[in-house]
């Protein structure tokens, strides 16, 4: 699974991931009990616009961006270090 978005919540940080079948999953308690949550809904809304807008700091080094293409873990690390964390 590939992380696509982080969200700040009252309990910490929730992480939305997409699997190989483009199904979304979230680490929040709501998703664990209902298989749906506001984080997944927000991401589905963004996907419905065409593509998912990954937002990273403009000062992100090109080398970091190139490394992120190599693996899901490297991509997740890029988002942690330079990505926009949403609050909904």
**What does the pLDDT profile of the chain (88 residues) look like in tens digits?**
999 999 998 889 999 999 988 899 999 999 999 999 999 999 999 988 887 778 889 999 999 999 999 999 999 999 999 998 888 8
How far the first Cα of the chain sits from its last, in Å, is 23
pTM to 2 decimals?
Answer: 0.82
- Can you give the pLDDT at residue 49? 87
Which residues lie below 8 Å from residue 37, measured CB to CB, with a gap of 6+? 14, 26, 28, 30, 31
Give strand ranges (E) for the chain: 2-9, 12-18, 24-26
Token pair 């910490």 in the structure block, residue: 12
pLDDT at 79: 92
């Amino acid at each position: 699974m590939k992380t696509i978005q982080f969200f700040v919540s009252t309990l910490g940080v929730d992480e939305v991931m997409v699997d190989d079948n483009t199904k979304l999953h979230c680490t929040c308690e709501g998703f664990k009990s209902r298989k749906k949550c506001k984080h997944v809904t927000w991401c589905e809304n963004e996907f419905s616009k065409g593509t998912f807008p990954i937002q990273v700091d403009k000062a992100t080094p090109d080398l970091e961006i190139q490394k992120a293409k190599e693996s899901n873990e490297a991509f997740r690390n890029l988002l942690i270090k330079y990505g926009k964390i949403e609050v909904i």
